[in-house]
Chains A and B, each alone.
Chain A
Amino acid sequence: MQIEKFYYDNKIVKAFGLATIVFGIVGMLAGLWAAIQIYYPASSLNLAPTTFGRLRPLHTNAIIFAFVGNASFAGIYYSLQRLCKARMYSDKLSWMHFWGWQAIIAAAAITLLMGKTTGKEYAELEWPIDIAITIVWVIFGINMLGTIIKRREKHLYVAIWFYIATWVTVAMLHIVNSIEIPVSFLKSYSWYAGVQDALVQWWYGHNAVAFFLTTPVLGLMYYFLPKAANRPVYSYRLSIIHFWALIFIYIWAGPHHLLYTALPDWAQSLGVVFSVMLIAPSWGGMLNGLFTLRGAWDKVKEDPVLKFMVVAITCYGMATFEGPLLSLKNVNAISHFSDWTIAHVHIGGLGWNGFLAFAILYYMIPKMWGTDLYSKKLATNHFWLGTIGIILYAVPLYWAGFEQSLMWKSFTPEGQLKFQFMETVNSIKPMYITRSIGGGLYLVGALMMVYNLYKTMAKGSFVANEAAEAAPLVKEIHAKKEYWHRVIERRPVTLLVLSLIVVAIGGLIEFVPTFLVKSNVPTIASVKPYTPLELQGRDIYVREGCYTCHSQMIRPFRDEVSRYGEYSKAGEFVYDHPFQWGSKRTGPDLAREGNKYPDSWHYNHMYDPRSMSPGSIMPQYTWLLDNALDTASTPAKIRAMRTIGVPYPEGYDLQANKDLMQQANNIAANLKKDKIETPPNVEIVALIAYLQRLGTDIKAEPEKNVTTTITTNK
């Protein structure tokens, strides 16, 4: 055995780093554009792909998976090699991972702009891409674990634990949440329906934040912060405790996204309890980060990398304090569906993720190019611009969220709602404008970084393979002597296995049949599956991303009930694949939209929202009036729905289009009464059918115009 010489693979880090920069700019641009559309709807260009409902998923996906994802990969590939004192397990896998991930991002961008979406936030990508993600993720996992196995340093530094946890949990979350039934290439329905879908989605959604945006980045913090500050982390023991506490609590905090919804009370409360408990480990981590810099604040003054990190960690602390706060029921009652949430996530996104990504780029690139940063001053300016950007972004939105929410909840002394929805929107428009300025500044800062890093690369020369040496790990020697010892210590595992068997015997017999027979969601007899036309209309609703601005969930509050109608019940959503509860009310709730307005109102509203509702910030959906409805897909959709348990009669897929045309003709006739001439087979008709159905089932006497339901065909 001799000291081995090996080379760190910098090329892959470079590739991921460049991808981070490119997609970061793209993602921020998309975000800025979407932000402008909120107060200046015409900036959607009246084109389907560039309308808010499609741009917003593009923005979130680009930032989460392309920008933060690539930054994490770059950081992981850089730090893992050095922490393990080994080159990545396989160059081939590294490059498969890289190109696979970039291909996924490209495919995501194209499909999202095309309106191919599953309609579940942060999991919008359609099934072929989901499969691709799974494969690429497995490749990444093999590569990472392989590196860990062939490491030359016995101790697994705490950052590596964070990376492993990221991999395991993201794999699980992605697979569970992405279970869907394909209808066609690029179209699928979520396997779960309504409340259940919502629970899975937010269990995923929250954990995606936890394990895609937090744990890997914390790992990066634990590596790059000590490196940049050149001092060990404040307390290594605390970092280990931080890790284990975080891992064991995070998993269950998801349901806090569904407070006051139709989710069972106990599940909501469970989410609250765990969310509040999360403060402890999160703040432990934050303090550990900040204390690392104790006595080194003079360095922070000089080093832009540390400056970025300090603000990033502070933002992490703020966001993780605010998160549990928002999960408290009485706070959530105000914050939910408002811009408060948007401000909250951007503290995390712009501050924690963005700034930490900038910091590691500023750290790694000069190192790999063997030079110093081109301009510290420019980086410092980037820092200040970014910080001001964050403040200008977040403060107005907090204000807007709070103000609008209180306006929603205001009543006149006579017991009437004090403000129309439109009034509340108008009052916060100035804040929307300020927010986009903040975002703009942040983007300008990022562009300065691009220039700075470009000049740095030009100045230095890239070392693709960095030489290093270390002795290989020695096999543990005393294994033989202590064999009996190890048997004992294996006992807990044995016992766990035994207990699982107990569950199998005692439990499975009892509850599996129940599980197979029916779901326990309370059923409401009058709730019926969607008609084929409504189903098509619903798919258009999903395609255009209506859920990004409109909720379909009336919470049991006085104001919501008087504004929108009877509060939503779990049983109403049993045929919603996927659920469309939404998370933000830029526009009003639509859960009881059915029969509120005549068909013609919707027609005109879609053509030009401001004609029906002056001052509206909704974009125009002119193409819906012209696009022909794709009726060819109806049978496949009905079949898929039947597979996942929607009780359409057998063979209904073949006659579905007949029913569809009948209902479409009715609507067309209806429109004609209001002097609107339209062919029945256009998309707007399907959408109107869907909107007019929303929330009507539960009403005692179904309206005449929705009687054309499948029940009549039985």
Chain B
Amino acid sequence: MVYSILNEHSLCHYYDLNQNPGINQRIGIRKDKFAFLDDAGIIAKLISFKDETQMRVSFHLPQIHCSSCLYLLEHLPRIQPGIISGKVDFGRKQIDIIFRSDQCSLRTVVETLTSIGYEPYISLNDIKQKKPAVSKSMVFRLGVAGFCFGNVMLASFPEYLGIEAGDHALRSLFRWFNFALAIPVLLYSAFPFYESSWKSLRHRFLNIDAPITLAIIITFTRSAYEVISGTGSGYFDSMTGIVFFMLAGRLLQDKTYKQLSFDRDYTSYFPIAVSVLKEDKEIPVMLPDIKPGDTLVIHHGELIPADSILTKGKAFIDYSFVTGEALPVPRETGELLYAGGRQTGERLEVLVIKEVVQSYLTHLWNQEKKDPVETDKGSFVHFVSRYFTLTLIIIATITGVYWQINDPSRLWPAVTSIFIIACPCALLLSHTFTNGNIIRILGRNGFYLRNAGVIEKVASIDHIVLDKTGTLTVAEMQDIAYDGIPLTPNMQLQVAALAACSTHPLSRALAKHFPLPGRPAVSDFHEYPGQGIEGIVEGRHIRLGAQSFAGKGMTGTTGTTVFLSVDNKVTGRFQFNNHYRENITKLLSKLSRRHQLSVLSGDSNAEKERLATMLPHHSPVLFRQQPADKVEYVRALQNKGAKVMMIGDGLNDGAALRQSDVGVAVAEQTNNFTPSSDAIIDGNKLPRLYRFIRLCRANKQIIVASFVLSILYNIAGLYFAVQGTLSPLIAAILMPASSLSIFLITFGSSSLLAKKMRL
């Protein structure tokens, strides 16, 4: 069906749109994998709307990646007639489906999606109360401000371009027109500034929005006075313009990544429901309803949601994401299984001993909370603005006193002009525009920041703590070295064929290692969990496994080793090493120039020597680190006064990521879950981290440079203002001139710098 849809659409066309359509055509899913979707309680939590005949539901489909996906998914009704429509939001990788509840069930919908290779990512997080949609009010405010600014500017031009004073009616029309248009800007668009300055005042702290609020209100009042009294045209264009530009800067800075979330907790890692064994039947139960004493059924690839005891089956638990151990660990019946591990292999039955919220992993998660003291108080811009405001008030006072003595009639024009011209908006503009552009540049390069504040934090760090598995190494990849009697191509094929029969991670890695076509058939295949595999390939009896399993003849070394025996004779061994990311050594040496480095690993110390060669000799490398140890390590560094950046990928690093000053989560395309963090980095782009940090450092310099420039404008403006001779024209020239030059400097220099750094 999929094929026919794509074919109808004409296949060539389909390939035109995307060179590698690569829809993951998964083979057979477990029949009742989605049985939990028949549960009315779960359905009610998942769907967004229902009436007598139809239901509406949104799913996250991480597999969406090209226009063909879009095409295929929007033609769901053709595959499953019960579906009325499917609408894809490409940026969010989300599909909005409406289906007829009398013709098909939610389960059918999900199974349909899964069958064409788009298995929805349904996690425990989905049953939580949905967050309200992103507020559009900023866009509204910007739109209104932009409209008003444009029209005010238009109506101000005649005045500047020398409309004859004789054209009295026309001139006052334009003035009143501006007045009217400034009102929505004052009352609506500029509202966030009032709100923020009010908040800061209540905390007895003067942030940058306070003087801005003052400037806006003074400018408006003075302008309104001029228009009503007929003495002048006011500064409405400056006022609306500045509000517009500042809002634009904020919007730019508040860039959000629709497809990323920086606030994920364990719930988006956990499934929404699991199968509970009751009277020999598997019944789907929502995760929060799991109680100690329940027996759960865990299938291949599924997560162990709660701490439990293995009661049936051979467990191979992949804890790489939770503890950082690279290889799945075998567990025997009766052993304790911690939550968060993923079973690979056969079906398990486990007895729950702790509720989900009480489990080790959840506990780990909730254990530490970073101090919420950190507000934007420390931010450079607010620091500067305080002095700015102070200076401004002093100048205003001096001017006021001076004119009070010499010419009281010029007192108010002069004082108000000072506030009009010397508003710190230039500072705010340079701040927001630089931040905005840098966030954008970093985002384009695969380094996504939670917000603009992170830039300054990244710039200030002096110690970088790195996780090993999944961060320095690629979790799913192994380097395989062979040692022993050389393998003929034919032998390689035979080994690969045997390895391909097993789902054990080492076997799979081995099978992948010899990607040769035309593998021979394997007969008499046997798998001995925890030991190895054997089989007859082209008449040869081949064994792969532990030393004890393969037979005598060779000794092992440190690390993970698989022995190969052919016809009961050990012929060689495969050495499995972690696969480090490309250029990682270079990155580490570059980072070490300005930062202390530490590596923490949840793994055994098999890689110790190798790591030591990669790192500067004094850098600590610690192994077998539990999540709590990592947090402790970070905290100890912080207590010594270090600013710490923690880079990690798994849940095991989650707490440390939050404890650190900047937590950077490493994301691979293959998993769409990243623990809560300040920034997310695309795993492939990790080697560029050094440049990212440098760019964040440059951020401050750019802001300072453009700020100095705006000070010059301010001084020029103040020159007129203190004399009380600031004409609207001068204000109107200075305002866009300074805004524009700031815009150009910040954008230009940050983009130029990025280009220089080849970002």
Contacts and interface: CB of A to CB of B under 8 A. Distances in A.
* A–B proximity contact (CB within 8 A): yes
Interface of A: 1-3, 154, 230-232, 248, 252, 264-267, 269-270, 273-274, 470-471, 474, 477-478, 482, 488-489, 491-492, 495-496, 498-500, 502-503, 506-507, 510-511, 514-515, 520
Given A488-B137, A511-B172, A511-B173, A502 B180 contact: yes
B740 interface: no
A252 B154 contact: yes
Contacts of B154: 252, 270, 274
Nearest to A299: B16
A499 B98 contact: no
Interface string B307-340: 0000000000000000000000000000000000
B169 A267 contact: no
B732 to A, nearest CB: 13
Contact of B169 (A273, A491, A510): A510
B313 to A, nearest CB: 45
Interface string B42-68: 000000110001101000000000010
Interface stretch (B159-167, B377-385, B602-610): B159-167
B77 A266 contact: no
B176 A503 contact: yes
Interface string B162-186: 1110111110110011011101100
A498 B56 CA distance: 40
Nearest to B184: A495
B144 A1 contact: no
B258 interface: no
Contacts of A492: 140-141, 143-144, 184, 188
A492 B368 CA distance: 44
Q: Which 4 A-B pairs have the closest CB atoms?
A: A266-B161, A507-B176, A514-B169, A499-B180
A270 B98 contact: no
A565 to B, nearest CB: 25
B276 to A, nearest CB: 33
Contacts of B519: none
A489 B136 contact: yes
A510 B161 CA distance: 23
8 contacts: A1-B84, A2-B100, A267-B158, A502-B183, A506-B228, A507-B172, A507-B180, A520-B166
B321 to A, nearest CB: 35
A498 B169 contact: no
B379 to A, nearest CB: 29
Given A474-B98, A477-B49, A266 B163 contact: yes
Contacts of A264: 163-164, 167
Interface in B90-141: 98, 100, 132, 136-137, 140-141
B85 interface: yes
Contacts of B169: 510-511, 514-515, 520
Given A492-B140, A499-B184, A510 B176 contact: yes
B84 A471 contact: yes
B162 A265 contact: yes
**Which of A265, A470, A495 has the most chain B CB atoms closer than 10 A to its own CB?**
A495
Contacts of A230: 13, 16-17
Contacts of B141: 492
B481 interface: no
Contacts of B53: 1
Given A471-B84, A510-B172, 17 more contacts: A2-B84, A3-B77, A231-B16, A266-B158, A269-B161, A471-B98, A474-B85, A477-B48, A482-B132, A489-B140, A496-B144, A496-B184, A498-B184, A499-B181, A500-B180, A506-B176, A507-B177
**Which of B85, B137, B140 has the most chain A CB atoms closer than 10 A to its own CB?**
B85
A470 B84 CA distance: 9
Nearest to B135: A485
Nearest to A272: B161
A154 B98 CA distance: 14
Given A500-B180, A510-B172, A511-B172, A269 B157 contact: yes
Nearest to A489: B140
Given A488-B137, A507-B173, A510-B169, A471 B180 contact: no
A270 B161 contact: yes
A567 B77 CA distance: 73
B87 interface: yes
A510 B187 CA distance: 25
Contacts of B140: 489, 492
Given A495-B188, A502-B180, A520 B167 contact: yes
B150 interface: yes
Contact of B17 (A231, A495, A498, A507): A231
A158 B184 CA distance: 28
A207 B98 CA distance: 44
A495 B84 contact: no
A514 B98 contact: no
A511 B169 CA distance: 5
A477 B56 contact: yes
A482 B133 CA distance: 10
A43 to B, nearest CB: 46
A492 B191 CA distance: 12
Contacts of B180: 499-500, 502-503, 506-507
**Which of A264, A266, A471, A489 has the most chain B CB atoms closer than 10 A to its own CB?**
A266
B77 A474 contact: no
B179 A506 contact: yes
A499 B158 CA distance: 21
B203 to A, nearest CB: 25
A252 B98 CA distance: 46
Given A265-B162, A266-B162, A496-B184, A154 B87 contact: yes
A248 B150 contact: yes
B177 A498 contact: no
A270 B159 CA distance: 11
A500 B17 CA distance: 50
A206 B98 CA distance: 47
A141 B150 CA distance: 28
B246 to A, nearest CB: 17
Nearest to B189: A492
A510 B167 CA distance: 13
Contacts of B164: 264
A270 B157 contact: yes
A495 B141 CA distance: 12
B143 to A, nearest CB: 8
Nearest to B153: A273
B138 to A, nearest CB: 11
B139 to A, nearest CB: 10
A503 B176 CA distance: 6
Contacts of B137: 488-489
A266 B171 CA distance: 12
B158 A495 contact: no
Contacts of A470: 85
A203 to B, nearest CB: 13
B168 A270 contact: no
A471 B83 CA distance: 10
Contacts of A274: 154
Contact of B183 (A3, A266, A495): A495
Contacts of A154: 87
Contact of A3 (B16, B84, B144): B84
B514 to A, nearest CB: 36
Contacts of A265: 161-162
B167 A491 contact: no
Nearest to A506: B176
A639 B77 CA distance: 69
Nearest to B154: A252
Nearest to B168: A514
Contact of A503 (B132, B163, B168, B177): B177
B156 to A, nearest CB: 10
**Which of B67, B98, B173 has the most chain A CB atoms closer than 10 A to its own CB?**
B173
Interface in B503-562: none
Contacts of B100: 1-2
Interface string B2-31: 000000000001001100000000000000
